[in-house]
């Protein structure tokens, strides 16, 4: 699986958009970008994933650059409950593939 680089921490004001960047310059053509988050020692929670097109669901939007070397997770209106560690993971689909977690970005939403 390709390596990812994320800032260790970020702050965001409540109600504003949180934009979490991720670099994955060694991503290969068949690897997907996944985002998970972990709220204070709870189980990791799936947020969104994509291959090359931008994706949106009820939780977030995922913007992947045209060259696929980086992506941004957008939480459109951050709330205090969005305070968590956010993990950007690049991996091949299918098979028994485990999820390999890095240290992620600690997002602190400030009132």
Give min distance, CB of 16 to another protein, in A.
28
Q: In this structure, are residues 109 and 12 in contact, taking their beta carbons and an 8 Å threshold?
A: yes
Give min distance, CB of 56 to another protein, in A.
13
Closest CB to another protein among 12 and 89?
89
Closest CB to another protein among 34 and 68?
34
Closest CB to another protein among 12 and 62?
62
Give min distance, CB of 22 to another protein, in A.
16
Q: Which residues contact 111 (CB under 8 A, 6 or more apart)?
A: 14, 80
30: left (phi over 0), alpha (psi -120 to 50) or beta: alpha
């Amino acid at each position: 699986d390709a390596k990812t680089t994320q800032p260790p921490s970020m702050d965001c004001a409540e109600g504003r958009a949180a934009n979490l960047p991720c670099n994955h310059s060694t991503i290969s053509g068949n690897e997907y970008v996944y985002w998970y988050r972990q709220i204070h020692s709870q189980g990791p929670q799936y947020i969104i994933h994509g291959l090359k097109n931008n994706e949106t669901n009820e939780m977030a939007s995922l913007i992947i650059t045209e060259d696929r070397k980086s992506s941004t997770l957008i939480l459109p209106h951050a709330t205090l409950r969005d305070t968590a560690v956010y993990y950007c993971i690049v991996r091949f689909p299918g098979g028994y593939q485990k999820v390999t977690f890095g240290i992620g970005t600690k997002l602190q939403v400030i009132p």
